[in-house]
Chains A and B, each alone.
Chain A
């Protein structure tokens, strides 16, 4: 996913560079043509191209930094409109005609920019109508001016008649329509300002004022200010163009740093939250894309500190380090934080908004991670319990061996010595022998008990010998298939495997009425596989009470216990235990 994103990003970059080079080249060519035979003040003529470049630069920057935002595209449209308008100054009849037709298009683009701010899209029908009207005023209502105003060659291509009266009427109509469009625009902007948050209003209000006033200011400058101060035509043109060149710069700054809730991006983020499946980005990647910062990092709150997705603790950045962090809260609890590059994203409020949108998802990821961690802890603690149980069994077996069994041998020896004592009456003799035999029987009982607790064969000789011993004691023919077994198995693995075999054999005898049995032991690829096959009545299930205990043990070691037992088809008990050393 990351690679695909990078590719998309770099191909966008390449395309934008191409567009930039094209605009630059077009401008250079146009500049050369215009200045070859200037039809007005050269500085003013050159400024058209410079304004186009400013539009293009601002548009490309906005497009690059906000690939999902269309505002850059509208700015580029403005750049082309300015280049086109300047064609009227090129000494070529056709190009002059094109330039004449498109002369006021840049003003329509300003209206477009005003209403499309900050997403680059016209989101309401009213704004779409007003922008369409603006283009009509600029492109269609301009027509009487060039059709009915007589002009010398090479400016005469479009002139159909020299009718100054019609031209004047047309100009009035255009001005009136333009005024209506401007008023409508102002109305929409005012309505929008009223809905905006105070923070947004601080940016939106000056921009709207600047954009709305820039257009009428052109004629104000030309018709009132210039005569009043006796400005030269070059100066008037310079002031007008500078006013218009400031528009893309101001709007781009507004888009990039203005602190607007980018509805579109946040919507995409919300969409992402509902998506599922393989194409889904990680939460952190989705945030990085939405906010336009590849270095963005999402961290989670766990045990009163922040950890990365992989569980490694992280410190939030120090103030002034260039990186900044916004904490994500859910129902008053801190659940995580977004760490981002403050030079790429100037507006913390936007990050905070994105954080609010993803808070539940962050909490879910955090809980998942916590759950995984506690599951691991639980498994480890179960393993410790099993191991402790085994250790306890071994200790009990050893204590019985070293203590009680030895005592019984000594007691029996004493009894026998009494029986053999010189001069002991016959009755005493017999009673003492009977006592010795009784003690021997008790010792035999104890041996069986110790064997059940933890067979000596397992402690002394390991799994293979202990399994052999089990098989030896089976009353029905039992084959032992002993594969290669790691002779340094962990004690818990050994005893678990042993208890699986013992339980399997016991069940086969007790419930399956089996006549032949097979026990198989082998370790391959770090797994010990234990199998007990019988040819009994089948129909056994893993939930049998005896199997429950061993199944738990197997599970605790991260292994698997399976029972395959069709009715009448015998039973196969298979345990797989991880035993990698």
Chain B
């Protein structure tokens, strides 16, 4: 029976895209310099240490409810994920997921679904993330011709942290993945940066946009959650009033995406909504 299984890792049809044809990584990122960086003219923070994508298959972003994201982001994918301040090139062993499929035993009955769309009730095994949960009933992506329902299988992958300065105000995570020839869809990206302040800066707000869902922490405290099938918009979700303390502050985030062009942008705004610039990014 096992031999009959036809495994398909990285099951999204688009993951089969020709990564060699993608624009190079250096169009979007450059290695971080040793000198401290500053926010750009609009206050966006461009220096981040980014972990290669953790694969976590989702065929639709409509499952990204608050509850789903809180549950997904509370799981441990790699050791010390909520405390480590990674260095460039540092490796971690991360818990990833891949979809495994088996061939369809028979053609779908006429009218049971569209072309390439196997019929399966919501909540049935393999019905996809969110089945029976908050996102139950989410539309399914078309599957592979002749393939059956997918099952998710855990794997352990060795992933590398990359410390980059983005050439754009935002951080094109999709291009990080494609540039490193990694999986681009159904993925989760972790990001960390260190902000140094000369004095306490009170009543600032963390302003984040992300494609798709994401969660961000400042010095270990949750600051914002971006839920839903979300596109990246600058200053989309804003935290409560925070304090950037004198010395080092750690900003940590995680972005999750199904079939989307992952990216994020982040800056801090003062009480008047003006960007905070008088900080250093290490």
Chains A and B belong together in one complex: no
Residues of B within 8 A of A (CB): none
Residues of A within 8 A of B (CB): none
